[in-house]
């Protein structure tokens, strides 16, 4: 027999009058009586999606994580990442899994191909050239000792409604009941930042008899823009916000949208349907109110007033990354990590590049508060996977301790490699998306505090003139045709001496007439 | 007798005997080629190559409902312009920081200092970014507003419009790129330090605060100069020529001209000539516009913010308009045009690369692409090469070729050394000293040269001129064309025919450097001796083409013309000897 549980919760937090953060969390648990078999091999699920179980079983996966994120988190105004960044990605899709060790990646590629169909995403573009095996960034707390971790990211993969619809199919009540009935695809994708994640992991160590699956859908809603869409079929122009009662121009310009509180109707334009009866909890809605969290049932959702609060500045670590495009050949990459707290932090800096970006490890420099330090002494661990042309990209994992109140800059040089003509993406003149770097922060007890991602970067790969092969073929064919025609004409033409030609010519009528007249005159 | 034999026996000797006239024909063809370019059969019509732009296809909503914001922005800008210059910029930046922080945008005030010998400048830029909803911070558009233009007039309406537009843009969710707003306090030093810090360049002359706000690749941009002047003008002046003669992609100009002229009915001013939407253009006006465009591209003076961006592969234009009273200026009409432009650039999937990067804009509807005007300079370069060949084949006996080549090489070296000696001064006496020094070097060389040496030195000189003109024409066609015109007397110096005419050509070549600099100062409205200006622009703006061309192509002619002159002057003694023999 299979024991299954289902929980769902909705968390709402208002950052300002304009922005609100919403998070839908769904959790499905499944366990089997037999402690030595895998629950994925069962087939009589009531709540757990059978498609996920089949994929996990066929590909021998013990732990699976998927992140799909679009937008950039505003650390200045929205402060800390939700859940310390554990359930949000950087850009596009990220997939990592713990599975049986397989040098040929057969099961890993099978997994990504099946997930591609399940989620309507182009995860089938994952191959050995963009698959990495990080050693330090993701210590799997539930992983089996003989398992291997694979990681892949597709930053150019977009996130839109076709990815959200199959996500709802994995839920027991889908969108007909429960908190998921509040989600509308058009409103969800008109937010400033949105992300969804899927996590499948065992509940206990070293055992797949009991597993959990978590789905989290998050968004930051622009309440003002959202309000203009309510009940409208066209986009309404922005409103003007100007308080000019005191005739102060600065006061007018500093005015903006302001309100005392938000409501669920402001965020979702609808009243939720009845509760999902399969859920085991009654209080589904959580609202952040200062330091405490208020709980409501779904029936009371229409009357909730979400207070607007200014958040405190309690960053664990802030990160930034920039790319210097010096030209068509060389570039350099700088990542800035700042530790504002008063205790040291252990940082694992995980960087990955496609194969045509050549990273030169000897150019790696680390600067602390503007002072360049000895790199060898500072780095505690370094995993470096060099690139192999068209087979594997570069992976770099650096572990170091950043002192308190310190600004640290990691800098190294990269070289751009021209590609073959058929290897360029269709929008080659836009550039190539470099995936964000992942910074994992640990405290003194080796507990992971947060997982941060830097901004994605756009690297311009030098592009040829894509019509050049056509031009070369045309010009070469023209030259060959003209040359061959001329030489063939010269070689085959028959040349006749002019004298011989003259002798063979018959006298013209005019000449004969002249001779006749002249002869007559002479006679 | 076959065709090849006929060519070998008859055509080539004919050409060799008439090289001078062939050279003259090519020169006349090359010079007059420019006059057939503005003909109706030659010019191309401006069209948008990048289909994603769709200029003018969006509805604009920047209307009177935002009148209070616009009025407050104008009041604030007017207040800032009346403050003292020392505190005005700081007060403006503090107020701007409050305005944009209240909107939730990241802001930064960036201090910089320019330190080159003879010039020091301390300034600051203000940078803010409107982030695209769901944007990934990899692409951005740039809106530049210099607080003053190069004359020192305040850009009140430009700053006010930028504030109002950014508040208006924030309400839309359709942006696929971030919009960076940069306000410079100087139209050329500000962009230089901004670009140096944005792309992490290292230069010993600019020190700046590190830039915290970045939004990836800047795909395109606009620079607004709605300066407050004495007179009013409803004409939009589009400035598009950058340093070293670089040009933005033609599609950016197509988008601007279509939106502003056809949809919002602004007349355009190009190279000082006004064009209206419904007016045609005659051959004469197109020829004037072409010639003025060539002159301004040859000079490549840096006076506006847009001039520094194409070398970083950012397509940028400056939109300049004279506003008598910012409060009576139609801000909504201009703002809607800017809104339409940004909506078109927002559609870009890649940076602009489809249309032309080498063109001349003749009027609001027509342009000339590189395939039409490039033959003229190549024909002129060919005539120079023929001139070199003419001098070369006049020597049938074996002589030492290294001796004239050393003279030529040493002349180039002396010219470059002399140029660097005087390039840090702005005084006319330095230029006179330079002229006299090079003349003296020429006289010294003449005493060691025979007429054969002088002729071969001239041959080498013409060869190098031909090659350099061909190379420079691919970078800046106008500059190479102007230089080729100035060097036309050089190639007609002859050691066989009319001696007096050759002496006249040598004198003309001698003064061509002076003519060149006088023309530059007239176009620039700048100093007669622009060496220091070139040195400054080279160090700050990487504007290297003009001083290099002057140093290698124009300045050595002082030496070569002097050596040719004295060799020709000493010719009677040779003839006397011949008669005696």
SS3 per-residue string spanning A248-315: CHHHHHCCCCCCCEECHHHHHCCCCCCCCCCCCCCCCEEEEECCEEEEECHHHHHHCCEEECCCCCCC
- pLDDT of the residue at B234: 78
| Structural domains in chain B (count) | 2
Q: How far is CA B310 from CA A331, B244, B389, B578, in A?
A: 19, 10, 39, 61
What is the Rg, in whole angstroms, of the alpha carbon atoms belonging to chain B? Answer: 28
* The domain boundary residue, chosen from B305, B332, B364: B364
Residues in chain B within 8 Å Cβ distance of A431:
138, 217
* Residue A72 C-alpha, separation from nearest chain B C-alpha, in angstroms: 6
Question: Distance (Å, rounded) from C-alpha A88 to C-alpha A31?
Answer: 27
Nearest 10 degrees: Cα torsion B255, B260, B262, B264: 140
Rg of chain A taking only CA atoms, in angstroms: 35
pLDDT digits (tens, 9 = 90+) for A128-144: 888 998 888 877 655 56
In a domain, B289, yes or no: yes
A429 and B350 in contact by Cβ < 8 A? yes
Contacts of B401 (CB under 8 A, 6+ apart): B456
Inter-helix orientation angle A161-169/A106-119, to 10°: 100
Residue B338 has pLDDT above 80, yes or no: yes
Quick one: pLDDT at residue A314? 64
Chain A residues close to B173, C-beta within 8 Å: 190, 222, 225
At residue B577 the predicted structure's pLDDT band, cuts being 50, 70 and 90, is: very low
Nearest to A461 by CA among A508, A497, A414: A414
Min CA distance, B45 vs chain A (Å)? 23
**Cβ atoms of residues A353 and A410 within 8 Å:** no
pLDDT, residue B59, reads: 87
A252/B69 touch (CB, cutoff 8 Å), yes or no: yes
C-alpha–C-alpha distance, residues A23 and A27, integer Å? 13
Q: Are residues B336 and B473 in the same domain?
A: no
State how far the Cα of A191 lies from the Cα of A180, in Å rounded to an integer.
17
Q: Which residues contact B22 (CB under 8 A, 6 or more apart)?
A: B15, B386
CA end-to-end span of chain A: 141
Residue B581 pLDDT class (50, 70, 90 cuts): very low
Residue A204 has pLDDT above 90, yes or no: no
Q: Residue A435 carries which DSSP code?
A: P
pLDDT of the residue at B299: 79
pLDDT of B473 higher than 50: yes
Query: Which domain covers residue B73, as residue numbers?
Result: 64-275+284-346+355-364
**CA distance linking residue A110 with residue A499, whole number of Å:** 86
CA atoms of A381 and A376, how far apart (whole Å): 10
What band does B251 get if pLDDT is binned at 50, 70 and 90? very high
For B288, residues 6+ apart whose C-beta sits below 8 A from its C-beta are B273
Contact B529/B416 with Cβ under 8 angstroms?
Answer: no
Please report which confidence band the pLDDT of residue B573 belongs to, taking 50, 70 and 90 as the band edges: very low
Instruction: Name the nearest CA neighbour of A56 among A79, A35, A30, A82.
Output: A30
B560 phi/psi in degrees, rounded to 5: -70, -35
Instruction: Give the torsion through C-alpha atoms of B351, B357, B359, B361, to 10 deg.
Output: 30
Residues B128 and B207 in one domain: yes
In a domain, B479, yes or no: yes
65-84 in chain B: CB under 8 A from chain A: 65-66, 68-69, 71-73, 75-76, 79
At residue B365, does pLDDT exceed 50?
yes
Q: Going by C-beta distance under 8 Å and a sequence separation of 6 or more, which residues neighbour residue B521?
A: B527, B528, B530
pLDDT digits (tens, 9 = 90+) for A258-284: 887 888 888 898 888 777 888 877 667
Residue B45 lies in a domain: no
**To the nearest whole number, what is the mean pLDDT of chain B?**
85
Q: What percent of chain A has pLDDT over 90?
A: 15
Q: Is B237 left (phi over 0), alpha (psi -120 to 50) or beta?
A: beta
CA atoms within 13 A on the CB side of B513: 29
Report the pLDDT value the prediction gives residue A220, as an integer from 0 to 100: 93
Answer positive or negative: Cα dihedral of B176, B177, B178, B179: negative
Which residues are CB-neighbours of B548 under 8 A, at least 6 positions away?
A: none
B440 lies in some domain = yes
pLDDT digits (tens, 9 = 90+) for B167-207: 899 898 889 999 999 999 889 889 999 998 898 777 888 88
Confidence band of B579 (pLDDT split at 50, 70, 90): very low
Nearest to B136 among A18, A224, A456 (CB): A456
Is B51 domain-assigned? no
Residues of B in contact with A189 (CB under 8 A): 134
**Residue B420's pLDDT band (cuts 50, 70, 90):** confident
Average pLDDT across chain A, whole number: 84
> Helices B67-82 and B85-102 sit at what angle, rounded to 10 degrees?
150
What pLDDT band is residue B249 in, cutting at 50, 70 and 90?
very high
* All residues at 6 or more sequence positions from A514 whose CB lies less than 8 Å from its CB, including other chains: none
* Beta pairing partners, A294: A287
**Poorest-pLDDT segment among A455-464, A510-519, B122-131:** A510-519
Regarding whether B71 and B11 lie in a shared domain, the answer is: no
Question: Does B78 lie in the same domain as B11?
Answer: no
Q: Is the pLDDT of residue B576 over 50?
A: no
Mean pLDDT, rounded, for B486-497:
82
| Residues B316, B443 share a domain | no
The pLDDT score that the predictor gives to residue A343 is 86
B440 shares a domain with B377: yes
Are A66 and A198 in contact by the 8 Å Cβ rule? The answer is: yes
Q: Does residue A355 surpass a pLDDT of 80? A: yes
CA nearest to A66, candidates A74, A55, A58, A75:
A55
- B26-81 pLDDT, tens per residue? 999 999 998 988 878 778 878 888 889 889 988 889 988 798 899 899 999 988 99
Q: CA A344 → CA A313, A339, A398, A400, A439, distances in Å?
A: 18, 8, 16, 10, 15
With respect to residue B581, please indicate whether it lies within any of the assigned structural domains: no
CATH code where residue B150 lies: 3.40.630.10
Report d(CA A400, CA A375) in Å as an integer: 10
Tell me, what's the pLDDT at B575? 44
- Sorting pLDDT into bands at 50, 70 and 90, what band is A190? confident
Inter-axis angle of helices B428-448 and B402-422, nearest 10: 170
Q: Are B207 and B115 in contact (CB under 8 A)?
A: yes
Q: What is the pLDDT of residues A385-435, one digit of tens each?
A: 898 788 899 888 999 998 998 889 998 888 888 888 888 888 888 887 889
- Please name which of A195, A226, A288, A204 lies closest in space to residue A9, comparing C-alpha atoms: A288
User: Which residues make Cβ contacts (< 8 Å) with residue A111, sequence separation at least 6?
Assistant: A55, A59, A61, A64, A97, A99
pLDDT grade, residue B496 (50/70/90)? low
Measured between alpha carbons, how far is residue A121 from residues A58, A60, A127, B458 in Å?
A: 20, 21, 15, 70
Cα–Cα distance, B440 to B515 (Å, whole number): 20
Residue B505 lies in a domain: yes
Contacts of A498 in chain B (CB under 8 A): none
Is A240 in Cβ contact with B69 (below 8 Å)? yes
Q: For position B136, what pLDDT does the model report?
A: 77
Reply yes or no on whether the pLDDT at B233 is more than 60.
Answer: yes
> Among all residues of chain B, which has the CA nearest to that of A193?
B134
Asked whether residue B321 falls in the same domain as residue B422, the answer is no
In a domain, B43, yes or no: no
Confidence (pLDDT) at A500: 55
- Among B323, B338, B364, give the residue marking a domain's end: B364
- Position A278 scores a pLDDT of 83
Task: Quote the crossing angle between the two packed helices B19-36 and B283-299, to the nearest 10°.
Answer: 110
Is the CB of residue A140 less than 8 Å from the CB of residue A166?
Answer: no
- 3-state helix, strand, coil split of chain A in percent (to 5) is 25, 35, 40
Predicted local confidence at residue B580, as pLDDT? 39
Mean pLDDT of B416-422: 83
Which of residues B330, B364, B398 is at a domain's end?
A: B364
Q: Are residues B391 and B533 in the same domain?
A: yes
Write out the H or E segment, with its range, that includes residue A513.
helix A509-522
pLDDT at B280 over 90: no
Q: How confident is the model at residue B445, as a pLDDT? A: 86
Q: Looking at the structure, tell me whether residues B215 and B142 fall in a common domain.
A: yes
Q: Residue range A329-342: average pLDDT?
A: 87
> Beta A357-359 vs A406-416: how paired, if at all?
antiparallel
Which has the minimum average pLDDT: A184-188, A267-271, A310-314, B574-578?
B574-578
DSSP 3-state of B41: coil
Give residue B128's pLDDT. Answer: 93
Question: What is the rounded (10 degree) CA torsion for A103, A107, A112, A117?
Answer: 160
**CB atoms A71 and B68 under 8 Å:** no
**To the nearest whole angstrom, how far is the Cα of B491 from the nearest Cα of chain A?**
35
C-alpha triplet B13, B19, B21: angle, nearest 5°: 125
Residue B183 and residue B113 share a domain:
yes
Report, as an integer, the average pLDDT of B463-468.
88
Same domain, B29 and B73: no
Sequence-distant (≥ 6) Cβ neighbours of residue A499 within 8 angstroms: none
Chain B residues with beta carbon closer than 8 angstroms to that of A74: 104, 131
By C-alpha distance, the chain A residue nearest B170 is A238
Q: How confident is the model at residue A81 (pLDDT cuts 50, 70, 90)?
A: confident
* Residues in A touching B168 (Cβ below 8 Å): 238
Tell me, yes or no, whether B381 and B359 share the same domain: no
Position A326 pLDDT exceeds 60: no
- Cβ atoms of B116 and B536 within 8 Å: the answer is yes
């Amino acid at each position: 027999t299979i024991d299954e549980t289902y929980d769902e919760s909705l968390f709402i937090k208002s950052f300002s009058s304009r922005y609100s953060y919403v998070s839908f969390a769904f959790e499905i648990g499944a366990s089997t009586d037999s402690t030595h078999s895998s629950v994925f091999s069962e087939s009589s699920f009531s709540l757990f999606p059978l498609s996920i179980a089949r994929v996990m079983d066929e590909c021998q996966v013990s732990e699976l994580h998927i992140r799909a994120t679009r937008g950039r988190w505003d650390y200045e105004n929205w402060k800390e990442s939700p859940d310390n960044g554990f359930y949000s990605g950087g850009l596009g899709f990220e997939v990592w899994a713990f599975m049986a060790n397989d040098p040929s990646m057969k099961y890993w590629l099978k997994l990504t191909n099946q997930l591609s169909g399940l989620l309507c995403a182009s995860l089938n573009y994952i191959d050995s050239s963009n698959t990495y095996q990080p050693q330090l960034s993701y210590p799997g707390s539930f992983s089996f000792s003989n398992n291997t971790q694979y990681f892949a990211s597709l930053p150019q993969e977009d996130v839109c409604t076709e990815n959200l619809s199959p996500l709802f199919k994995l839920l027991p009540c889908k969108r007909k009941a429960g908190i998921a009935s509040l989600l509308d695809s058009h409103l969800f994708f008109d937010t400033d930042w949105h992300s969804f994640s899927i996590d499948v992991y065992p509940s206990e160590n070293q055992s797949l008899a009991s597993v959990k699956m978590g789905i989290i859908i998050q968004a930051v809603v622009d309440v003002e823009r959202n309000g203009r869409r309510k009940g409208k079929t066209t986009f309404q122009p922005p409103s003007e916000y100007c308080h000019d009662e005191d005739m102060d121009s600065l006061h007018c310009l500093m005015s903006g949208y302001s309100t005392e509180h938000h409501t669920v109707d402001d965020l979702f334009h609808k009243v939720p349907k009845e509760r999902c009866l399969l859920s085991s909890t009654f209080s589904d809605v959580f609202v952040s109110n200062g330091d405490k969290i208020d709980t409501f049932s779904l029936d009371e959702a229409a009357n909730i007033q979400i207070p607007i609060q200014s958040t405190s500045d309690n960053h664990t670590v802030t990160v930034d990354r920039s790319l210097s495009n010096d030209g068509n050949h060389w570039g350099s990459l700088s990542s800035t990590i700042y530790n504002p707290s008063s205790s040291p932090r252990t940082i694992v800096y995980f960087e990955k590049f496609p194969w045509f970006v050549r990273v030169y490890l000897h150019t790696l420099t680390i600067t602390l508060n503007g002072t360049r330090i000895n790199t060898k002494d500072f780095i505690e661990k370094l995993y470096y996977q060099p690139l192999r042309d068209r087979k594997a990209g570069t992976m770099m994992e650096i572990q170091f301790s950043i002192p308190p109140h310190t600004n640290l800059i990691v800098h190294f040089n990269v070289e751009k490699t021209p590609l073959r003509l058929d290897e360029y993406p269709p929008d080659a003149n836009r550039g190539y998306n470099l995936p964000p770097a992942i910074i994992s922060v640990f405290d003194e007890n080796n507990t992971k505090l947060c997982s941060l991602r830097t901004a994605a970067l756009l690297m311009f790969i030098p592009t040829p003139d894509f019509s050049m092969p056509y031009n070369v073929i045309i010009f070469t064919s023209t030259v060959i045709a003209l040359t061959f025609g001329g030489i063939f004409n010269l070689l085959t033409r028959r040349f006749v001496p002019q004298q011989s030609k003259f002798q063979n010519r018959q006298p013209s009528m005019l000449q004969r007439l002249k001779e006749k007249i002249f002869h007559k005159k002479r006679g | 007798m076959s065709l090849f034999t006929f060519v070998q026996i008859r055509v080539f000797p004919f050409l060799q005997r008439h090289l001078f006239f062939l050279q003259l024909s090519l020169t006349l063809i090359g010079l007059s080629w420019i006059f057939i370019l503005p003909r109706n059969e030659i010019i191309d019509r401006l069209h948008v190559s990048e289909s994603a732009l769709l200029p003018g296809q969006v509805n604009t909503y920047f209307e009177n409902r935002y009148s209070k914001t616009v009025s407050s922005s104008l009041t604030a800008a007017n207040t800032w312009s009346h403050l003292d210059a020392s505190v005005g910029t700081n007060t403006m930046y503090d107020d701007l920081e409050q305005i944009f922080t209240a909107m939730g945008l990241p802001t930064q005030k960036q201090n910089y200092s320019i330190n080159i010998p003879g010039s020091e400048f301390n300034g600051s830029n203000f940078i803010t970014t409107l982030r695209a909803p769901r944007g990934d911070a990899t692409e951005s558009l740039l809106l530049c507003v210099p607080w003053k233009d190069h004359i020192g007039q305040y850009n009140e309406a430009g700053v006010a419009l930028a504030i109002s537009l950014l508040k208006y843009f924030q309400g839309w969710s359709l942006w696929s790129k971030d919009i960076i707003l940069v306000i410079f306090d100087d139209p050329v030093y500000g962009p230089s330090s901004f670009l140096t810090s944005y792309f992490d360049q290292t230069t010993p002359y600019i020190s700046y605060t590190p830039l915290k706000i970045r939004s990836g690749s800047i795909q395109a941009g606009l620079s607004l100069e709605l300066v407050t002047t004495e007179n009013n003008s409803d004409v939009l002046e589009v400035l598009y020529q950058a340093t070293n003669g670089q040009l933005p992609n033609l599609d950016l100009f197509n988008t601007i001209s279509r939106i502003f002229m056809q949809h919002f009915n602004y007349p355009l001013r190009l190279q000082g000539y006004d064009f209206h939407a419904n007016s045609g253009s005659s051959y004469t006006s197109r020829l004037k516009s072409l010639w003025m465009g060539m002159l301004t591209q040859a000079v490549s003076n840096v006076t506006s913010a847009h001039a520094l961006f194409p070398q970083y592969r950012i397509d940028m234009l400056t939109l300049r308009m004279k506003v008598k009273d910012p409060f009576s200026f139609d801000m909504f009409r201009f703002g809607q045009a800017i809104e339409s432009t940004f909506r078109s650039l927002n559609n870009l999937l890649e940076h602009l690369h489809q249309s032309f990067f080498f063109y001349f804009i003749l009027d609001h509807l027509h342009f000339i692409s590189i395939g039409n005007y490039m033959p003229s300079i190549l024909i002129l370069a060919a005539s120079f090469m023929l001139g070199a060949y003419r001098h070369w084949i006049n020597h049938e006996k074996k002589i030492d070729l290294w001796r004239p080549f050393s003279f030529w090489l040493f002349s180039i070296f002396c010219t470059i050394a002399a140029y660097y000696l005087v390039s840090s001064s702005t005084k006319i006496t330095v230029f006179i000293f330079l002229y006299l020094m090079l003349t003296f070097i020429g006289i010294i060389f003449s005493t060691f040269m025979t007429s054969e040496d002088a002729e071969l030195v001239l041959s080498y000189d013409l060869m190098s001129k031909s090659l350099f003109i061909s190379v420079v024409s691919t970078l800046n066609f106008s500059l190479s064309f102007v230089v080729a015109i100035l060097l036309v007397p050089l190639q007609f110096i002859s050691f066989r025919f009319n001696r007096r005419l050759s002496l006249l050509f040598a004198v003309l070549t001698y003064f061509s450097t002076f003519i060149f600099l006088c023309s530059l100062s007239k176009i620039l409205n700048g100093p007669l001796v622009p060496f220091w200006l070139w040195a400054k622009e080279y160090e700050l703006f990487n504007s290297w083409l003009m001083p290099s061309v002057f140093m290698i192509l124009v300045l050595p002619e002082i030496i070569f013309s002097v050596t040719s002159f004295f060799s020709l002057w000493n010719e009677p003694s040779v003839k006397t000897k011949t008669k005696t023999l």
